[in-house]
Amino acid sequence: MTAMIETVGLTCRFGGVVAVDNVSLKIEEGELRCLIGPNGAGKTSLFKCLSGQVQPSGGRVLMKGREISRFHPHEIARMGMAIKMQVPSVFNGLSVHENVWLAAARLHRGKALEAIVDETLSAVGFRSAEAREKRADELSHAHRQWIELAMLAACKPAIALLDEPAAGMTQDEMLRTVELIKTINRSTTILVVEHDLEFISLLARKVTVLHQGKIFVEDTMSNISNNAAVREIYLGKQWRMAQ
């Protein structure tokens, strides 16, 4: 089967720093893959190479078998890749409903548009008219993250790259975000970039550990939890949280 995303010997250099070092990675259609690693491991750089925000210095990126290494971000987006950066990107002056409606209107019209907006808002937990009419800038950080997840889900992308989607959330908010991501994964392949191991252990899917730009290990979260070498690169700090 052709992978949704494949990198072959992907390398990304910034001057003398090799942020991504000869990474070969395959993410199959329907997967929910977690990419973890300590600070400076190269997660964001890899994310940016996949989405076209940064041009790789070497190697290749393929999406559904087609090489996209030199494509611009908008061309990759048109092929069905959605990205969510750490800082939520929503229209502050608009309501929850309007934000999601605008995102969905890029692809849908008429009754289908109304239906997808309604379905997505319900799935993401904005069920009442009152919740949907609130302005984005009146909402908490977590709610704004969920609006952006709804905007992304409403476009039904083939693959979504999520950069630390639970950063700055409380425990309850993080749990809800885990459920939302699992819901979106029913129709969208997902790559979650994260360094919070507790969040990753709750998603409990295949995990790729990046360290010093290279793939350190790729395994299930339960095996990774017992991997002493991975524990070592995290210096035990976050590891205790994940137990």
Ligand X SMILES: Nc1ncnc2c1ncn2[C@@H]1O[C@H](COP(=O)(O)OP(=O)(O)OP(=O)(O)O)[C@@H](O)[C@H]1O
List residues near ligand X by CB under 6 A: 14, 17, 19, 37, 39-45, 195
C-beta of 122: minimal distance to ligand X in Å?
A: 33
> CB of 234: closest distance to ligand X in angstroms?
11
- DSSP bridge partners of 62: 6, 67
Rounded CA-CA distance 237/49 in Å is: 29
Give the CA-trace dihedral at 229, 45, 162, 85, to 10 degrees. 130
**What is the nearest approach in angstroms of ligand X to the Cβ of residue 193?**
7
Residue with Cβ nearer ligand X (41 or 123): 41
In the bound state with ligand X, the residue whose beta carbon lies nearer, of 44 and 99, is 44
Q: Whose Cβ is closer to ligand X: residue 96's or residue 230's? A: 230
- For 5, 27, 53, 99, the CA distances from 44, given in Å and listed in that order, are 16, 17, 10, 26
Nearest to ligand X of 40, 125 (CB atom): 40
Q: How many CB atoms lie within 10 A of CB 140?
A: 12
Phi and psi dihedrals of 237, rounded to 5?
A: -65, -65
Angle in degrees, 0-180, between the axes of helices 110-123 and 96-105, rounded to the nearest 10 = 130
Cβ closer to ligand X: 195 or 231? 195
By beta-carbon proximity to ligand X, the closer residue of 39 and 243 is 39
Q: How far is the CB of 44 from ligand X (least distance, A)?
A: 3
- Smallest CA-to-CA distance from 205 within 170, 181, 171, 226 is with 181
C-beta of residue 94 within 8 angstroms of C-beta of residue 124: no
Closest separation in Å from C-beta 213 to ligand X: 7
Least Å from the CB of residue 171 to ligand X: 21
